[in-house]
Amino acid sequence: MGDFSLELNDDQKSVRDWIHGFAADVMRPAAAEWDEREETPWPIIQEAAKIGLYSLDFYAQQFFDPTGLGIPMAMEELFWGDAGIALSIVGTGLAAVGVLANGTEEQIGTWVPQMYGDADDVKVAAFCSSEPDAGSDVGAMRTRAVYDEAKDEWVINGTKTWATNGGIANVHVVVAVVDPELGTKGHASFIVPAGTPGLSQGQKFKKHGIRASHTAEVVLDGVRVPGDCLLGGKDKLDERLARARERARSGDGERVKNAAMATFEASRPAVGAMAVGTARAAYEYALEYATGREQFGRPIIDNQGVAFQLADMRTQIDAARLLVWRASWMATAGRPFTSAEGSMSKLFASETAKKVTAQAIQILGGNGYTREYPVERMHRDSAIYTIFEGTSEIQRLVIARTLSGLPIR
């Protein structure tokens, strides 16, 4: 019988402990301050850059971990430190992945380094997809990109919303409609460099949680970018659009849509890992509090009402991590998500984070409801996991459609 193990290897443990140290020593002491300030924690990002944690090289190493556990392990530890600061550190990765997945080698070499800058002059990037009327319904996207052949430029008009680092980024990656008749298959991604005329920050959102992460609208008013800012290039786009038109005529469009959905599925375990990190942080704090807090002459953990809550919290966290690890391993191994395992991991971990952080507040009682204790912040932060990268309702829809094979609405 072949070997089977859920134990991290020595290299993975070393990386995990390194990230954990940064989260404990640098992120946590600063978490409350930056939550109150509701500003991008540039000094923390710079510290991460100095040690190589904020860099493309680090995330590439984790992404290519053959077990698939590098990224979820890193996300869990960072978000254990603080969700808002962690999202400021990893948010650039969303834009970098967009370029790595769709760009040419020249585009990758040109733009990805500009997204991170260096330890002396850190930069951030933004991935701009959602719109005021197009969140879960990406088919409702209205931002248009029109090719000006005479000048070899793309002209982009529209408004993006919920963009992490939107408006403050050195590089914006913008998804726009190039052929409205093809629906979601008529979309393309563009690089918009800093300082491009017509690009501006709209409303900056004052959020319930993850307040150390900058979230804003991005307005594109007659933005012109060179032809080589189309990710993948014009020839590749024309070929893809031609195939999509042919499939639409032959009635094969549904298969293409499902393939795109599978791509989204593969990214969801990382969000699940973020949720696991926040849930674990709240559980550990509640456990320590319950062990030291005395009422009626004994620690409150001696009461079954508290002890059983903690038992459930830990069980749910471990179950969530296992679902995340399974989906991450499947994605790396090229195993198809025949039961929507990616959505399962994100759904369960997200809901677990909300539940566990609420239970942590309950265990701390009145103290848990104040900003003097971190579980209140963790509970506010946890709400985002059931919303971004596909709401819990969308995850259930994906799972139900995958299991039944029916176009459930």
Give the residue numbers marked as catalytic: 389
Strand 125-128 relative to strand 171-177: parallel, antiparallel, unpaired? parallel
Q: What is the DSSP letter of 131?
A: B
- Written as six digits, the tokens of 184 are 């979601």
Instruction: Find the helix or strand (DSSP H, E) in which 334 lies.
Output: none
Tokens of 212: 């150390």
Q: Each residue of 109-134: b (16+ CB within 10 Å) or e?
A: ebbbeebbbebeebbbbbbbbbbeeb
Cα–Cα distance between 38 and 85 in angstroms, integer? Answer: 10
Phi and psi (nearest 5°) for 151?
Answer: -105, 0
Q: Which residues contact 206 (CB under 8 A, 6 or more apart)?
A: 38
**Phi, psi at 122, each rounded to 5°:** -70, 145
Phi-psi region of 340 (alpha: psi -120 to 50; beta: other; left: phi over 0): left
Helix (H, G, I), strand (E, B) or coil at 4: coil
Cα–Cα distance, 358 to 369 (Å, whole number): 10
Provide the pairing of β-strand 187-193 with 215-226. Answer: unpaired
What pairs with residue 131 in β-bridges?
A: 134
Helix, strand, coil content of the chain in percent (nearest 5): 60, 15, 25
CA 105, distance to chain mean position in Å, is: 24
176 touches 143 (CB < 8 A): yes
CB 87 within 8 A of CB 210: yes
CA nearest neighbour of 164 among 205, 192, 133, 132: 205
